[in-house]
Structure 1
């Protein structure tokens, strides 16, 4: 190839890259395909793509909140759905070993979406009625480095237990956890996810299980030590065989990005997703019963992105 052809090809490549950057392409990290993050992120990507704003997006299934925060830091992801506690730890550089001493001050919030409820599902034949009963049991605690793993650690701590006190701490994906529960190779499963998640529904449909409560003095001490938790009662009949309300705790699913994303691209994404409350609520039942513009700016784990500030101000909210 001649030198002039190489120069022309390089110029064309740079031009195409510059055009893509100007239009704004966003890779949105989510979580397991059996959780709530994935359908939420997929729907949001479609809303951005259908908006006609020039911004484009795609959603990726990932290992969850901790992975997403690390991938945002490396530039592998542009946006992500994450637990607000995990995003806070990443921003501050503490709380989780993966973030220790590596504070990412580029983390920026976009919106709080819905409560993520800690589900502790136990096989009825395992005779587990309390978190304390998990001692010596085979327990699925989530993927290594996931938000669920961190939540499981903190809840067990409230009951005076550590992972070492379990018979087995099974670090696997929700899908693998379902299989282990079905095959009687696991007694219980932790999963921090929106109520109605397909993974929990699938377990309840195929295995005789019960929801284990997180309540009383233990829940109070958990909320006191970790203020990003809130109390949340899982409504009766949320899952097959659940006849009564089950007291529990929740963190908050949050949409985040970094300061590397342009103000214009983030603004366009915000407008595409959040301009219409009815459209947001239609994404998933977790949003249908919990989302509002006012709640979307409460409990943010990091400063709002300037593109998000512009959008929320247009929506009449007092933000900065």
Structure 2
């Protein structure tokens, strides 16, 4: 009996000790979390987030830049516990996945972000809006490039009639641009055989002869065109002045661009390319903590050389042009950084 009482007493002591340890551990965790709150009473302050950045196809410009942003810049930012970049179908897909909460940051064309926020124009967004989208920074002009092979006999948009034409991934920003440009020239999908292909697959199709031309919306030089040019001489078409003027008149986000022939001279291009461009922008979920986005924005410009190393278009990303072509409201964290740098954000 005495042994039973002693065993019971020891059991009670053990239970109290375990309970004390559990309580102490829990209190320690709560204290650690509170200590990162900067004492401001703001629940988002000090909160760490995981950031998945939606980019584009691996043969475009978004992907190498996005990988550099995630791995070499955002991963080391205070308030971000993990950052990674993923290859996607680009602008439209990115906007839809941001709305679904799959991505916390995306690279997207400024026209597509405008449609997404306002629920206009594109079938993908008519009648519905992406409500959690906020701007972080403008990046660089995205040139509309219509590429074919030098021996194709295609010299203008009119020559695309009856041909197999890659217009980008279905529902992508590139496809939206292709449709608008064709329409401006009086051409519809009924006049061509449409192929919904990403830039890499389009390049392969041009190489093996299964397609005749491809629409590519990306910063020049674009690796998909360079890959094609390594095997066949390329020809990037110019748009006529009438088509350019109509596009700029109908769509305020287009700007006129001239791509020097030198850009693709090593791949067979002989003439300057007159075309239009939209702006690539970096967008984040508006629910991301202000501190995290402020730190991400600051780091992006302080480590801009990482982007330049990843792709030549990284040189176009400057603080001076950070709000150029921004078609949606800025995230408060980004706005705070720009205002500290003396920029006007209204």
Task: Tell me if both proteins adopt one fold, taking TM over 0.5 as the criterion.
Answer: yes
* Equivalent-residue separation in structure 2 for 1:85 and 1:298 (angstroms): 13
62-71 or 261-270: which moved more?
Answer: 261-270
Change in Cα spacing, 1:279 to 1:43, as seen in structure 2 (3 Å) is closer
Task: Give the secondary structure class of the aligned counterpart of 2:275.
Answer: strand
* 1:222 and 2:222 correspond: no
Change in Cα spacing, 1:238 to 1:88, as seen in structure 2 (3 Å) is same
State whether residues 120 and 191 of structure 1, in contact with CA within 8 Å, keep that contact through their aligned partners in structure 2. Answer: yes
**Unmatched 5+ residue regions in structure 2?**
1-17, 37-43
2:118 to 92, 106, 109: 92
Structure 1 residues 147-226: aligned runs within 5 Å: 147-166=173-192, 168-226=193-251
* 1:302 and 2:323 correspond: no
85-94 or 123-132: which moved more?
Answer: 123-132
Change in Cα spacing, 1:28 to 1:50, as seen in structure 2 (3 Å) is closer
State whether residues 57 and 89 of structure 2, in contact with CA within 8 Å, keep that contact through their aligned partners in structure 1. Answer: yes
Change in Cα spacing, 1:99 to 1:195, as seen in structure 2 (3 Å) is same
**Unmatched 5+ residue regions in structure 1?**
none
* Equivalent-residue separation in structure 1 for 2:285 and 2:77 (angstroms): 23
* Equivalent-residue separation in structure 2 for 1:281 and 1:316 (angstroms): 24
Structure 1 residues 1-320: aligned runs within 5 Å: 22-49=47-74, 51-55=76-80, 56-166=82-192, 168-239=193-264, 240-288=267-315, 290-320=316-346
228-237 or 59-68: which moved more?
Answer: 228-237
State whether residues 66 and 146 of structure 1, in contact with CA within 8 Å, keep that contact through their aligned partners in structure 2. Answer: yes
* Equivalent-residue separation in structure 2 for 1:275 and 1:67 (angstroms): 29
Taking structure 2 as the reference length, what is the TM-score of the superposition?
Answer: 0.83
* Equivalent-residue separation in structure 2 for 1:244 and 1:150 (angstroms): 26
Shift of 1:116: 0.4
State whether residues 91 and 103 of structure 1, in contact with CA within 8 Å, keep that contact through their aligned partners in structure 2. Answer: yes
* Equivalent-residue separation in structure 2 for 1:62 and 1:276 (angstroms): 25
State whether residues 47 and 272 of structure 1, in contact with CA within 8 Å, keep that contact through their aligned partners in structure 2. Answer: no
Aligned residues: 308
* Equivalent-residue separation in structure 1 for 2:339 and 2:311 (angstroms): 25
* Equivalent-residue separation in structure 2 for 1:202 and 1:196 (angstroms): 11
Change in Cα spacing, 1:226 to 1:112, as seen in structure 2 (3 Å) is same
Change in Cα spacing, 1:52 to 1:89, as seen in structure 2 (3 Å) is closer
* Equivalent-residue separation in structure 1 for 2:307 and 2:204 (angstroms): 32
* Equivalent-residue separation in structure 2 for 1:299 and 1:225 (angstroms): 16
* Equivalent-residue separation in structure 1 for 2:314 and 2:275 (angstroms): 19
151-160 or 275-284: which moved more?
Answer: 275-284
Q: Give a deviation string over 1:264-285, Cα, whole Å, max 9, x none.
A: 1111211221235545544421
Shift of 1:126: 2.5
Q: Give a deviation string over 1:262-313, Cα, whole Å, max 9, x none.
A: 111111211221235545544421131x232121111111100001001111
Shift of 1:50: 5.3
Shift of 1:183: 1.0
RMSD: 2.3
* Equivalent-residue separation in structure 2 for 1:298 and 1:173 (angstroms): 27
